[in-house]
Amino acid sequence: MRENGNHSTLEPESFTLDYPGWWDEISRCRITIYRPHRNTIVAIATELPDNPGVHVRQVSANLATTLLYRLDVSPETLMWIEYDPCELTPSARLQRVVLRWDSHRFYEFQRFAVSPAQLHSWTSGQWR
Protein backbone atom coordinates (compact mmCIF):
# COMPACT_ATOMS: atom_id res chain seq x y z
CA MET A 1 0.00 0.00 0.00
CA ARG A 2 1.13 3.51 -0.77
CA GLU A 3 0.08 6.48 1.33
CA ASN A 4 -0.86 9.49 -0.76
CA GLY A 5 -2.02 12.53 1.20
CA ASN A 6 -5.33 11.75 2.87
CA HIS A 7 -5.92 8.44 1.14
CA SER A 8 -4.15 5.18 0.45
CA THR A 9 -3.81 3.32 -2.81
CA LEU A 10 -3.10 -0.30 -3.54
CA GLU A 11 -1.58 -1.63 -6.69
CA PRO A 12 -4.32 -2.58 -9.15
CA GLU A 13 -5.62 -6.12 -9.06
CA SER A 14 -6.42 -7.72 -12.41
CA PHE A 15 -7.97 -11.08 -13.26
CA THR A 16 -10.05 -12.85 -15.88
CA LEU A 17 -13.66 -13.40 -14.90
CA ASP A 18 -15.80 -16.11 -16.49
CA TYR A 19 -19.51 -15.38 -16.30
CA PRO A 20 -22.66 -17.00 -17.63
CA GLY A 21 -24.00 -15.60 -20.85
CA TRP A 22 -27.29 -16.26 -22.55
CA TRP A 23 -28.35 -19.91 -22.53
CA ASP A 24 -25.51 -20.81 -20.15
CA GLU A 25 -22.74 -20.01 -22.62
CA ILE A 26 -19.45 -19.11 -20.97
CA SER A 27 -18.42 -15.48 -21.39
CA ARG A 28 -15.17 -13.87 -20.32
CA CYS A 29 -13.79 -10.43 -19.50
CA ARG A 30 -10.85 -8.87 -17.70
CA ILE A 31 -11.59 -7.13 -14.41
CA THR A 32 -9.13 -4.57 -13.11
CA ILE A 33 -9.69 -3.12 -9.66
CA TYR A 34 -8.24 0.16 -8.47
CA ARG A 35 -8.57 1.40 -4.90
CA PRO A 36 -7.62 5.08 -5.13
CA HIS A 37 -9.21 5.94 -1.75
CA ARG A 38 -10.12 3.95 1.32
CA ASN A 39 -13.83 3.94 0.44
CA THR A 40 -13.64 3.86 -3.35
CA ILE A 41 -13.24 0.96 -5.72
CA VAL A 42 -12.97 1.64 -9.44
CA ALA A 43 -13.69 -1.59 -11.32
CA ILE A 44 -12.99 -1.75 -15.04
CA ALA A 45 -14.57 -4.56 -17.03
CA THR A 46 -12.61 -4.96 -20.26
CA GLU A 47 -14.17 -6.74 -23.20
CA LEU A 48 -11.73 -9.37 -24.46
CA PRO A 49 -11.31 -9.88 -28.22
CA ASP A 50 -11.58 -13.65 -27.76
CA ASN A 51 -14.67 -13.52 -25.51
CA PRO A 52 -16.75 -16.49 -26.70
CA GLY A 53 -20.00 -15.17 -25.26
CA VAL A 54 -21.99 -12.12 -24.21
CA HIS A 55 -20.43 -8.65 -24.36
CA VAL A 56 -19.81 -7.03 -20.94
CA ARG A 57 -22.18 -4.18 -21.85
CA GLN A 58 -25.11 -6.58 -21.99
CA VAL A 59 -24.61 -7.83 -18.42
CA SER A 60 -23.15 -4.81 -16.59
CA ALA A 61 -25.37 -4.97 -13.53
CA ASN A 62 -24.93 -8.73 -13.11
CA LEU A 63 -21.14 -8.49 -13.37
CA ALA A 64 -21.00 -5.61 -10.90
CA THR A 65 -23.20 -7.53 -8.45
CA THR A 66 -20.99 -10.61 -8.77
CA LEU A 67 -17.89 -8.52 -8.12
CA LEU A 68 -19.46 -6.72 -5.17
CA TYR A 69 -20.18 -10.01 -3.40
CA ARG A 70 -16.77 -11.41 -4.33
CA LEU A 71 -14.99 -8.37 -2.83
CA ASP A 72 -17.38 -8.20 0.14
CA VAL A 73 -17.72 -4.41 -0.03
CA SER A 74 -20.66 -2.04 0.28
CA PRO A 75 -22.44 -0.97 -2.93
CA GLU A 76 -21.73 2.75 -2.56
CA THR A 77 -17.97 2.14 -2.80
CA LEU A 78 -18.08 0.70 -6.34
CA MET A 79 -17.58 2.77 -9.51
CA TRP A 80 -18.19 0.61 -12.61
CA ILE A 81 -16.36 1.31 -15.89
CA GLU A 82 -16.50 -0.64 -19.13
CA TYR A 83 -13.67 -0.63 -21.63
CA ASP A 84 -13.84 -2.06 -25.13
CA PRO A 85 -10.47 -1.49 -26.82
CA CYS A 86 -11.84 -2.78 -30.15
CA GLU A 87 -14.72 -0.27 -30.27
CA LEU A 88 -14.22 1.99 -33.28
CA THR A 89 -16.15 4.93 -31.87
CA PRO A 90 -13.92 6.73 -29.33
CA SER A 91 -16.86 7.86 -27.19
CA ALA A 92 -18.03 4.25 -26.85
CA ARG A 93 -14.63 2.80 -25.90
CA LEU A 94 -14.78 3.89 -22.25
CA GLN A 95 -18.10 4.16 -20.46
CA ARG A 96 -19.05 4.76 -16.88
CA VAL A 97 -22.13 2.84 -15.83
CA VAL A 98 -24.01 4.40 -12.95
CA LEU A 99 -25.62 1.58 -11.00
CA ARG A 100 -28.35 1.58 -8.40
CA TRP A 101 -28.63 -0.92 -5.57
CA ASP A 102 -31.96 -2.50 -4.63
CA SER A 103 -30.82 -4.20 -1.37
CA HIS A 104 -29.45 -7.36 -3.02
CA ARG A 105 -28.35 -6.54 -6.59
CA PHE A 106 -27.43 -3.72 -8.93
CA TYR A 107 -29.46 -2.51 -11.86
CA GLU A 108 -28.26 -0.17 -14.58
CA PHE A 109 -29.39 3.39 -14.15
CA GLN A 110 -27.35 5.46 -16.58
CA ARG A 111 -24.28 5.22 -18.80
CA PHE A 112 -22.06 7.86 -20.32
CA ALA A 113 -18.77 8.15 -22.15
CA VAL A 114 -15.65 9.06 -20.20
CA SER A 115 -12.28 10.20 -21.41
CA PRO A 116 -9.00 8.47 -20.66
CA ALA A 117 -8.02 11.60 -18.68
CA GLN A 118 -11.10 11.26 -16.45
CA LEU A 119 -10.38 7.60 -15.80
CA HIS A 120 -6.73 8.40 -15.10
CA SER A 121 -7.93 10.93 -12.49
CA TRP A 122 -10.42 8.52 -10.87
CA THR A 123 -7.71 5.89 -10.45
CA SER A 124 -5.23 8.36 -8.91
CA GLY A 125 -3.09 8.23 -12.00
CA GLN A 126 -2.79 4.44 -12.17
CA TRP A 127 -4.88 3.73 -15.29
CA ARG A 128 -2.93 3.80 -18.52
CB < 8 Å & 24+ apart, contacts of 83-86: 83/44, 83/45, 83/46, 83/47, 84/46, 84/47, 84/55, 84/56, 84/57, 85/46, 85/47, 85/49, 86/47, 86/49
Instruction: Read off the pLDDT band of 23 (50, 70, 90).
Output: confident
Indicate the pTM of the whole model: 0.88
pLDDT digits (tens, 9 = 90+) for 75-123: 999 999 999 998 888 878 999 999 999 999 999 889 999 998 999 899 8
